Amino acid sequence: MATQRDRMDEMIQGKQVSHCSRPPARWRHELKGVLIRQMQIARRVRKLADEIERDFAGRDLVVVSLLNGTVMFLADLIRHLSLPMRLDFIGVSSYRDGTQSRELLLTKELRLEVRGRDVLVVDDILDTGKTLKCVLDKMRELKPRRIKVCVLLEKKDRRVEKVRADYVGFSIPDLFVVGYGLDFAERYRNLPFVGVLHPHYYQSS
């Protein structure tokens, strides 16, 4: 039986996921498999929201979400938050039509004032850490009271920057994943699960 510490470690570090199930017939020619099913996501997001509620209890929270991959994750996450909160978005572009990261470009600035406030940064995936580092550097210039980070997915094997997330949905291997907001060439965001794309789709780009 898992101890309370084991459950807390899972909550903070992210549930390990490495095995795929068969994708729906409609997607079998494009996806190798389903890495995280819809119900798994729903349960995990609810647990993350519970932890965030405990940590920010009694505070006026500002949620800052990165565009565009967070949209589905963000909507499900904040739906479970009952504490006072405000929502804003920041845009950082790094991935283009292919898989290679290019120079980071800030595409949308914050609208809300965050000085002296509690901020939760929400992102879809933490891999190299370059995008998150860029965002956190920008946020610290605005002098919030504190900053915490929540991500749906993380790939620890790809990390090159010394950044970490306080709340992690799932830790995954170095696979090219799409769905539940994550895209390839702006496709697949609408899938209700996280799937693994066939390599020939992105290797030919």
Q: Which residues contact 77 (CB under 8 A, 6 or more apart)?
A: 45, 48, 49, 52, 122, 150
The residue from 6, 50, 127, 157 that is catalytic is 127
Instruction: State the pairing for strand pair 61-67/118-126.
Output: parallel
CA 205/CA 196 separation, integer angstroms: 16
Q: Are 205 and 98 in contact (CB under 8 A)?
A: yes
Q: Which run of H or of E encompasses 60?
A: none
Q: Helix, strand, coil: what percent of the chain each, to 5? A: 30, 35, 40
CA 75/CA 84 separation, integer angstroms: 16
Q: Is 76 a catalytic residue?
A: no
Which residues sit opposite 93 in a β-bridge?
Answer: 105
CA 166/CA 155 separation, integer angstroms: 14
Please list the active-site residues: 127
